[in-house]
Amino acid sequence: MAQDFGATSTTEDVLSGLSLAGRRVFVTGVSAGLGVETARALAAHGAHVVGAARDLDKAHRATAQVRADAERGGGSLELVALDLADLASVRACADALNARALPFDLVIANAGVMATPFGHTKDGFETQFGTNHLGHFVLVNRIAGLMHDGARLVNLASSGHRFSDIDLDDPNFERTAYEPFLAYGRSKTANILFAVAFDARHRARGVRATAVHPGGIMTELARHMGPGQIEAMVAQINERATAEGKPPFQFKTIPQGAATSVWAGVVAEADAVGGHYCEDCHVSAVVPDDQPISLIEGGVRAYAVDPVRAEALWAESEEMVGERFG
């Protein structure tokens, strides 16, 4: 990490001069936004990218530039079907990958949903927790054997984890009043805790895991938000920033948003990012749970990187999906 990258760094900035020839990468959510750019940047620098998406026709249309840049850069892209809201699909995807027995240098759990109306996955889990966390929990654990010594896992999290800690007593909102961003916060905290627990289990063989916040980016992730809702949130954030003498919030471009995933996956030192939460291409400071913090300030809540909470979530997740992963 000799070079200093930050909030405005792009995927091309962090990968400048690097060859990823011979690297195999698995990325979920390659039908739009950050997933497409992440796949493009890695393939453009020589990596073979296996991209997963629920809608393969949409993914094929969205990745035309990925294939073009891959051809120029010596990389490649293939697409596989994966619906994270259906564990049968998750298991089928993992089984197909395991049958090929081709190892991965990097797995990026990028796909996700945000602020959805109250609903359930095919298996009966609250939509955001089931899709963002449990789908990836089963997928990554089932293909962990394909991650060779020295490989990495990058979980896409969010500063939205500050909306809420996980609730192991009521993960499906059976007794809690449903709020879209409360549910989103729980799922994003779960993404971070999953990285912490996975890292603890696999670091002895050199496999490290980290969680990253890409920043605020205008992508399809916000499709469930009502008209004017994003503008109202930004106005509220900027009102507070002005009162505190801080600069206003600025959206990142998609290449800037994908930069931290790529940086944590192939550029940063493994021991520096393993078991941690990263944003703006650096490891974030831990902020005490009782300390005020806005969505545009850096830092990760202590509850989101607590190894005890991580183990409790792991155990609860195994119970929910009916599988043991060690």
Looking at the DSSP bridge assignments, the partners of residue 208 are 152
Provide the domain limits for residue 143: 11-223+253-321
What's the pLDDT at 295? Answer: 67
Residue 154 lies in a domain: yes
Residue 75 lies in a domain: yes
Spatial separation of the C-alpha atoms in residues 38 and 20, rounded to whole Å: 13
How many independent structural domains does the chain possess?
A: 1
Residue 184 CB neighbour total at 10 angstroms: 25
Structural contact between residues 275 and 199, judged by C-beta atoms closer than 8 angstroms: yes
Residue 248 lies in a domain: no
Model pLDDT for residues 281-296, shown as the tens digit of each residue? 999 999 999 998 876 7
Residue 106 lies in a domain: yes
Query: DSSP states of 28-47 as a string?
Result: E-TTSHHHHHHHHHHHHTT-
What's the pLDDT at 1? Answer: 43
Of the candidates 158, 148, 62, the one whose C-alpha atom is nearest the C-alpha of residue 112 is 158
Residue 4 lies in a domain: no
Residue 147's SS3 state is strand
What's the pLDDT at 243? Answer: 80
Mean of pLDDT values over 165-173: 98
Mean of pLDDT values over 202-221: 90
Q: Tell me the CATH number at 114.
A: 3.40.50.720
pLDDT above 70 for 24: yes
Model pLDDT for residues 229-251, shown as the tens digit of each residue? 777 777 777 677 778 777 777 88
Mean of pLDDT values over 38-56: 98
In one-letter notation, the amino acid at residue 169 is D
What confidence category does residue 297 fall into, taking pLDDT thresholds of 50, 70 and 90? confident
Model pLDDT for residues 89-109, shown as the tens digit of each residue? 999 999 999 999 999 999 999
Mean of pLDDT values over 176-184: 97
Residue 233 lies in a domain: no
C-alpha pair distances (Å), 296 with each of 7, 159, 185, 216, 299: 12, 8, 15, 9, 9
pLDDT above 80 for 54: yes
Residue 147 lies in a domain: yes
Instruction: Quote the pTM value.
Output: 0.94
DSSP 8-state secondary structure symbol assigned to residue 84 = T
C-alpha pair distances (Å), 320 with each of 171, 172, 199, 303: 10, 10, 21, 21
Active site residues: 184
